[in-house]
């Protein structure tokens, strides 16, 4: 994102408009301090949907690296003709988490070759190093050479390396090389040279340049988007993926930690969820597992918020529930997770965390039980779950689901029951048209200030203006989200956390749109909604202060929405104003309750000429923040709010 810093003498710019237009007078009173804003207020929702993890943020380039997909050779293609053959073997009894491997026979002084297609190709960058690894053994003791080549779709070689294998025991072999060209959709040839019988498994290729340079690491550009948000929390691993289509397919964190080769792959529920967006090659390798999620949270300064299955599969699919008397393993998973995150290195799960490289605790403070679960069966299971966790960890904050919708019978029943049970935090979801967001800027004004807190856990403006996935992330949706978020901020005594959903989408492998960040194998861009989220998160503040227009909160009168807060750490006043009208509006904002303000302030402006505008791979920063400096005169600012605009003002106190 390119930041511009322009100095504008405001009075000159606005004076010609002042006579012709209505002036909207707003009053900010710094002395009228209201809700404290939680440090976790604005955060991130992460789910492995739209190839967000495998094929996305998890930087592994080889698809189906250990032949565990339903079709063991999916993603792989044998060369034809070939100097050898391949047989998939299954050692399930000896190794249930990673049963399959490939036995390759090479004869007649030829070689065996097969190619991996990657996740819609492999994104390769010229001059970057790539780290290849494979677990292998020579069955009859012959020595062999493994040759790895990266090739373009036309077959041109853009990188290669070799490594010798020897010995009858399983060993991991590694090689590295530098790519000579950039390619969006490269393939990897895997070749074994020399006669013999060789077993291979976990055939892997990573860029060396991952986030923090970690092995088994994450894609740097994608993590950077998250770090730039300075998020208060990160929720993981979802979403519906927590529940699974059936209980067998639920997310089980214990199967996602430890050595990567021992993490048991399962089908991704988004593989088959939408017939029109079927993604037959979508599985969860769990290379990005709970340890990596905790590390990611720590890296980007976000509180970790894991959501666990509470004994119920997705109620839109099988609606399977475990009998209440069978809940214990689920509860134990939750208790053990707390030990994994926070326990001493002398505890079973704390030791595993230390063995994986993180002796210090991750300091987990909150945990979700269930995602979009509903009905009596949820309340019943949640009660047992909550009792067991609170007994052992009374300070652990528990997030409860209020179902799929923010209104209606299902919501009302859950909301009442959860509040009766004094739930710590209630997770509300709303995927709604932009108009809903505008109408609901006051949604939380009437909520009980002393009851359960709210986590706006999944939301996004769903516009009907287009059927093109990427274009669903238009300015219409983002602007309405910004207007709504002023209402969340104003109600920060009720709203503890909020996150847009879903987070990531691969342009060639998505199932759900709109999404916050789009990417292909090489590049990524933030949508207008991303910049709205970032502007709120980067301008969080610590305490809400009063901002009014004609003595009322600013919740849509004359198409204007506003909130204000102070940031005690930087001693600044932060004002957010959204103009949803397609015309300029004159604002005159007066400040009371502070000493004399300085003569200038910083404005961050996000705007677009029309509601259908979007960002795209071609024009990634079409709608992106513009920084300017504006004048303050005697504790007043006069500013022209551009048509369809969102502004943040920061003023030193
Ligand atoms: O964000 C996509 C999906 O929407 C989530 O998995 C689910 O919780 C919701 O229905």
**Residue with the nearest Cα to atom 1 of ligand 1?**
502
The predicted structure's pLDDT at residue 278: 87
Say yes or no: 228 and 325 in one domain.
yes
| CATH number of the domain enclosing 90 | 2.60.120.260
Answer yes or no: is 558 within a domain. Answer: yes
The pTM of this model reads 0.95
Say yes or no: 257 and 128 in one domain.
no
Say yes or no: 537 and 549 in one domain.
no
Angstrom distance (rounded) from CA 196 to CA 414: 63
| CATH number of the domain enclosing 608 | 2.60.40.1180
Q: Is the dihedral of CA 463, 464, 469, 471 positive or negative?
A: negative
Are the C-beta atoms of 312 and 384 separated by less than 8 Å? no
The predicted structure's pLDDT at residue 363: 98
The predicted structure's pLDDT at residue 18: 44
Strands 5-7 and 626-631: parallel
**Residue with the nearest Cα to atom 3 of ligand 1?**
239
Say yes or no: 395 and 452 in one domain.
yes
Residue 372 annotated as catalytic: yes
**Residue with the nearest Cα to atom 8 of ligand 1?**
239
Answer yes or no: is 70 within a domain. Answer: no
Say yes or no: 370 and 229 in one domain.
yes
Among candidate residues 168, 185, 207, the one where a domain is terminated? 207
Angstrom distance (rounded) from CA 472 to CA 203: 37
Residues 6+ apart with CB under 8 A from 357: none
Say yes or no: 49 and 106 in one domain.
no
Name the residue of 238, 373, 469 whose CB sits within 8 Å of the most ligand 1 atoms, as the mutation to test its pocket: 238
Among candidate residues 487, 518, 541, the one where a domain is terminated? 541
Answer yes or no: is 478 within a domain. Answer: yes
Angstrom distance (rounded) from CA 95 to CA 488: 50
**Mean pLDDT per 10-residue interval, the chain, length 653 residues:** 40 44 94 95 98 98 98 97 96 95 95 98 98 97 97 98 96 98 98 97 98 97 98 98 96 98 97 92 98 98 98 96 97 98 98 98 98 97 98 98 96 97 98 98 97 98 90 97 98 98 97 97 98 98 97 97 97 97 97 90 97 97 97 95 98 94
Are the C-beta atoms of 646 and 576 separated by less than 8 Å? yes
Angstrom distance (rounded) from CA 627 to CA 4: 5
**Residue with the nearest Cα to atom 6 of ligand 1?**
239
Say yes or no: 537 and 550 in one domain.
no
- Kindly give the number of the ligand 1 atom that is closest to the alpha carbon of 238: 6
Answer yes or no: is 15 within a domain. Answer: no
Q: What are the structure tokens assigned to 477, written together?
A: 């949706």
- Kindly give the number of the ligand 1 atom that is closest to the alpha carbon of 372: 8
Q: For residue 448, what are the domain limits?
A: 44-60+213-541
Sheet containing 84-90: order of strands: 84-90, 100-106, 196-207, 129-138, 171-178
Say yes or no: 56 and 120 in one domain.
no
How far is ligand 1, taken at its centre, from the CA of residue 239, in Å?
A: 5
Among candidate residues 498, 520, 541, the one where a domain is terminated? 541
How far is ligand 1, taken at its centre, from the CA of residue 230, in Å?
A: 23
Answer yes or no: is 1 within a domain. Answer: no
The predicted structure's pLDDT at residue 20: 56
Say yes or no: 104 and 237 in one domain.
no
Say yes or no: 224 and 183 in one domain.
no
Q: Which residues line ligand 1 (CB under 6 A)?
A: 47, 49, 238-240, 371-372, 404, 458, 501-502, 512
Are the C-beta atoms of 163 and 100 separated by less than 8 Å? no
- Kindly give the number of the ligand 1 atom that is closest to the alpha carbon of 501: 1
Say yes or no: 246 and 365 in one domain.
yes
How far is ligand 1, taken at its centre, from the CA of residue 462, in Å?
A: 13
Q: What are phi and psi of 428, to 5 degrees?
A: -105, 140
Angstrom distance (rounded) from CA 568 to CA 458: 29
How far is ligand 1, taken at its centre, from the CA of residue 223, in Å?
A: 21
Say yes or no: 186 and 227 in one domain.
no
Answer yes or no: is 3 within a domain. Answer: no
The predicted structure's pLDDT at residue 19: 45
Q: What are phi and psi of 592, to 5 degrees?
A: -125, 165
DSSP notation for 623-647: S--EEEEEE-BTTEEEEEEPSSEEE
What is the number of structural domains in the chain?
Answer: 3
Are the C-beta atoms of 593 and 32 separated by less than 8 Å? yes
| CATH number of the domain enclosing 453 | 3.20.20.80
Answer yes or no: is 636 within a domain. Answer: yes
Helices (H), 175-327: 220-229, 290-299
Answer yes or no: is 588 within a domain. Answer: yes
Angstrom distance (rounded) from CA 477 to CA 484: 11
Choose, from 60, 68, 273, 372, the residue flagged as catalytic.
372
How far is ligand 1, taken at its centre, from the CA of residue 489, in Å?
A: 23
């Amino acid at each position: 994102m390119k930041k511009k810093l322009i100095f504008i003498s405001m009075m000159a710019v606005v004076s010609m408009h002042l006579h012709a237009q209505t002036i909207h007078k707003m009053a900010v009173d710094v002395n009228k301090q209201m809700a404290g804003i939680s440090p976790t207020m604005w955060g991130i929702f992460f789910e492995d949907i739209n190839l967000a993890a495998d094929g996305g943020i998890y930087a592994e380039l080889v698809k189906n690296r250990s032949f565990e997909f339903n079709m063991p050779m999916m993603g792989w293609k044998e060369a034809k003709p070939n100097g050898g053959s391949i047989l998939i073997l299954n050692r399930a009894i000896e190794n249930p988490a990673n049963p399959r491997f490939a036995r390759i026979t090479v004869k007649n002084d030829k070689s065996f070759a097969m190619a991996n297609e990657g996740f819609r190709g492999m994104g390769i960058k010229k001059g970057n190093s790539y780290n290849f690894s494979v677990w292998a053994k020579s069955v009859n003791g012959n020595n062999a050479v493994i040759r790895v080549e990266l090739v373009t779709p036309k077959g041109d070689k853009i990188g290669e390396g070799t490594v010798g294998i020897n010995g009858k025991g399983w060993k991991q072999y590694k090689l590295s090389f530098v790519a000579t060209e950039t390619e969006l959709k490269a393939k990897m040839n895997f070749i074994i040279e020399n006669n013999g019988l060789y077993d291979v498994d976990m055939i892997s290729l990573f860029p060396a340049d991952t986030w923090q340079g970690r092995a088994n690491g994450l894609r740097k550009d994608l993590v950077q988007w998250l770090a730039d948000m300075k998020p208060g929390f990160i929720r993981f691993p979802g979403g519906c993926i927590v529940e699974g289509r059936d209980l067998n397919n639920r997310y089980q964190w214990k199967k996602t930690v430890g050595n990567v080769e021992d993490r048991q792959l399962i089908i991704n529920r988004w593989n088959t969820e939408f017939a029109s967006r079927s993604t037959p090659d979508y599985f969860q390798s769990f290379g990005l597992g709970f340890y990596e999620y905790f590390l990611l949270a720590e890296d980007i300064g976000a509180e970790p918020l894991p959501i666990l299955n509470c004994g119920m599969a997705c109620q839109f699919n099988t609606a399977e529930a475990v009998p209440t008397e069978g809940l214990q393993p689920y509860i134990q998973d939750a208790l053990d997770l707390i030990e994994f995150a926070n326990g001493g290195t002398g505890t079973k799960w704390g030791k595993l965390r230390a063995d994986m490289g993180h002796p210090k605790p991750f300091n987990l403070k909150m945990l979700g039980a269930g995602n979009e679960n509903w009905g009596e069966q949820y309340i019943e299971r949640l009660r047992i779950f909550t009792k067991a966790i609170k007994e052992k960890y009374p300070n652990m904050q528990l997030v409860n689901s209020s179902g799929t919708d923010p209104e209606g019978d299902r919501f009302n029943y859950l909301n009442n029951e959860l509040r009766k049970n004094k739930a710590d935090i209630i997770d509300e979801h709303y995927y709604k048209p932009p108009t809903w967001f505008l109408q609901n800027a006051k949604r939380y004004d009437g909520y009980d200030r002393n009851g359960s807190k709210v986590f706006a856990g999944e939301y996004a403006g769903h516009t009907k203006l287009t059927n093109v996935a990427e274009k669903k992330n238009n300015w219409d949706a983002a602007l309405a989200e910004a207007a709504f978020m002023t209402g969340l901020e104003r109600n920060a005594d009720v709203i503890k956390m909020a996150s847009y959903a879903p987070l990531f989408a691969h342009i060639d492998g998505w199932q759900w749109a709109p999404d916050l960040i789009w990417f292909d194998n090489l590049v990524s861009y933030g949508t207008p909604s991303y910049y709205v989220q970032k502007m709120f998160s980067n301008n969080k503040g610590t305490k809400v202060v009063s901002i009014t227009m004609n003595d009322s909160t600013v919740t849509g009168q004359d198409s204007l929405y506003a909130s204000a807060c102070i940031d005690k750490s930087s001693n600044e006043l932060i004002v957010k104003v959204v103009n949803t009208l397609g015309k300029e509006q004159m604002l005159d904002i007066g400040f009371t309750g502070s000493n004399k303000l300085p003569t200038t302030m910083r404005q961050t402006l996000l705007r677009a000429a029309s509601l259908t505008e979007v960002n795209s791979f071609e024009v990634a920063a079409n709608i992106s923040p513009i920084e300017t400096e504006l004048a303050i005169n005697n504790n007043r600012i006069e500013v022209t709010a551009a048509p369809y605009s969102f502004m943040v003002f920061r003023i030193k106190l």
